């Protein structure tokens, strides 16, 4: 007998919903076996790079007292959150990508989802703190973030990230066991509370940080542009005065100022690249999460598994992206990597490193009207 003949309307609708889900699960389109194996191998390679690269960042800050500035403590925390993501989330996703089955139980599904959002939220919080700090230094000319305040903000960010991510493990929201995706994700629901939680996650993970960071970087770029124009005008006037007094020897001055300006903007450019990488990796995942919760047609579509696999892979790419940027942009990071390598692999000679910071962060970006051109 059909449940609709002897049950309430709610039970009937629930039965029909379950039957629809089962029928759509059977028709899911998955990646071909060779492609799944290749993707899993790439994910294992990402795990190794993400773990080793970010571990070097943490070791540098831990072992070198001169590197324990506020910004480096924040970068080390960002690296640590990426390490945790690589260890506690990515391996299970890699196994599920190959087997197309979740073998770790429904309760661990909720735990893995909580850990995923927990470490992602922490990484985004650190990027947000760094962006606001750069905004205060470059635009407001206020260098307020010292190592002690950085540690306090790091502790607060960990607590807030845990509070936002914990509902998935205490039963306040429903996480779908991966039949539709290679990892526990927020699935389609008509519950207002669960939809509100999905919106909260999307807003806190992407929309609010993205808006604040975008505004900060636009203001920073405008300030850097105005400072560059001011330096250029000051250099021209200085050249004219020196040419009139000392002859052609004064023409070497503008070149030195241009080099200074490049040095002053390099650290900001590195943070800007991290922001661009965060945006590229997380915009698709945010749109995917909202569509999964609010669109029944999208969640139960045959191609949902392939879409979720690609989106999740892209979100994990951020943990690998950061140490590669450090190695590319930060000279001290490259030198420290050489120190951790075995001596048999060290080709370049070791260069003595500085034990003290060269300048205060606020003086790196400030170019006031009364500042000398020799700074």
Q: SS3 sequence, the chain?
A: CCHHHHCCHHHHHHHHHHHHHHHHHHCCCCCCHHHHHHHHHHHHHHHHHHHHHHHHHHHHHHHCHHHCCHHHHHHHHHHHHHHHHHHHCHHHHHHHHHHCCCCCCHHHHHHHHHHHHHHHHHHHHHHHHHHHHHHHHHCCCCCCCCHHHHHHHHHHHHHHHHHHHCHHHHCCCCEECCCCCCCCEECCCCCHHHHHHHHHHHHHHHHHHHHHHHHHHHHHHHHHHHHHHHHHHHHHHHHHHHHHHHHHHHHHHHHHHHHHHHHHHHHHHHHHHHHHHHHHHHHHHHHHHHHHHHCHHHHCCCCHHHHHHHHHHHHHHHHHHHHHHHHHHCHHHHHHHHHHCCHHHCCCCCCCCCCCCCCCHHHHHCCCCCCCCCC
**Nearest-angstrom CA–CA distance, 235 and 244:** 14
| pLDDT computed for residue 241 by the predictor | 65
190 vs 7, 9, 14, 299, 344, CA distance in Å?
A: 21, 16, 12, 13, 61
**Nearest-angstrom CA–CA distance, 80 and 328:** 19
User: pLDDT, tens digit, for every residue of 5-26?
Assistant: 444 444 443 333 433 443 344 4
Q: Does 60 score more than 60 pLDDT?
A: yes
Reading phi first (left if > 0) and then psi (alpha if -120 to 50, else beta), residue 351 is in beta
- Specify the pTM: 0.75
Question: What are the phi and psi torsion angles at 175 (to 5°)?
Answer: -100, 135
User: pLDDT, tens digit, for every residue of 78-103?
Assistant: 999 999 999 998 998 888 888 888 88
Q: Tell the residue number behind the tokens 């994990």, with chain if given.
A: 316
| pLDDT computed for residue 84 by the predictor | 93
User: pLDDT, tens digit, for every residue of 278-329?
Assistant: 889 889 999 998 998 898 898 888 888 888 888 888 889 888 888 888 878 7
* CA nearest neighbour of 213 among 263, 276, 284: 276
The residue that leads in pLDDT, 223 or 369, is 223
**Nearest-angstrom CA–CA distance, 73 and 209:** 20
- Domains assigned to the chain: 31-342 (1.20.1070.10)
Q: Does 254 score more than 50 pLDDT?
A: no
Quote the percentage of the chain above a pLDDT of 70.
70
**Nearest-angstrom CA–CA distance, 144 and 142:** 6
**Nearest-angstrom CA–CA distance, 278 and 318:** 7
Long-range contacts from 192-200, C-beta under 8 angstroms, 24+ separation = 194/293, 195/293, 195/294, 197/167, 197/172, 197/173, 198/173, 198/289, 198/290, 198/293, 198/294, 199/290, 200/164
Mean pLDDT of the chain: 75
Q: Tell the residue number behind the tokens 């850097």, with chain if given.
A: 224
User: pLDDT, tens digit, for every residue of 185-235?
Assistant: 888 888 888 888 889 989 999 999 999 999 998 998 888 888 777 776 666
Question: What are the phi and psi torsion angles at 176 (to 5°)?
Answer: -85, 125
Residues 128 and 209: beta-carbon distance below 8 Å? yes
């Amino acid at each position: 007998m059909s449940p609709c003949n002897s049950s309430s309307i709610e039970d009937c609708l629930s039965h029909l919903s379950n039957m629809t889900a089962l029928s759509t699960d059977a028709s899911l389109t998955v990646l071909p076996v060779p492609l799944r194996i290749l993707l899993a191998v790439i994910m294992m390679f990402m795990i190794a790079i993400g773990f080793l690269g970010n571990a070097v960042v943490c070791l540098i800050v831990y072992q070198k007292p001169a590197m324990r500035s506020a910004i480096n403590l924040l970068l080390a925390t960002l690296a640590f959150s990426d390490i945790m993501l690589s260890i506690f989330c990515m391996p299970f996703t890699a196994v599920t990508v190959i087997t197309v089955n979740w073998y770790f139980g429904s309760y661990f599904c909720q735990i893995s989802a909580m850990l995923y959002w927990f470490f992602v939220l922490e990484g985004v919080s650190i990027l947000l703190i760094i962006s606001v700090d750069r905004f205060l230094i470059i635009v407001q000319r206020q260098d307020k973030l010292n190592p002690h305040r950085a540690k306090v903000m790091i502790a607060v960010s960990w607590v807030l990230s845990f509070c936002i991510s914990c509902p998935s493990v205490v039963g306040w929201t429903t996480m779908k066991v991966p039949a539709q995706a290679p990892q526990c994700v927020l699935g389609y629901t008509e519950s207002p509370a669960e939809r509100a939680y999905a919106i909260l996650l999307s807003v806190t993970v992407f929309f609010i940080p993205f808006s604040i960071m975008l505004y900060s970087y636009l203001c920073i770029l405008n300030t850097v542009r105005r400072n560059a124009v001011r330096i250029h005008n000051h250099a021209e006037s200085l050249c004219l005065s020196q040419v009139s007094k000392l002859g052609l020897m004064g023409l070497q001055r503008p070149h030195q100022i241009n080099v200074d300006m490049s040095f002053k903007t390099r650290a900001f450019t590195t943070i800007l690249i991290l922001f661009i990488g965060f945006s590229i990796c997380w915009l698709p995942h945010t749109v995917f999460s909202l569509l999964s919760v609010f669109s029944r047609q999208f969640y139960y579509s045959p191609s949902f598994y392939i879409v979720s696999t690609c989106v999740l892979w892209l979100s994990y790419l951020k943990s690998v992206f950061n140490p590669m940027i450090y190695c590319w942009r930060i000279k001290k990071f490259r030198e420290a990597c050489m120190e951790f390598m075995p001596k048999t692999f060290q080709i370049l000679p070791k260069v003595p490193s500085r034990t003290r910071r060269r300048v205060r962060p606020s003086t790196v970006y400030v170019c006031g009207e009364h500042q000398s051109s020799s700074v």
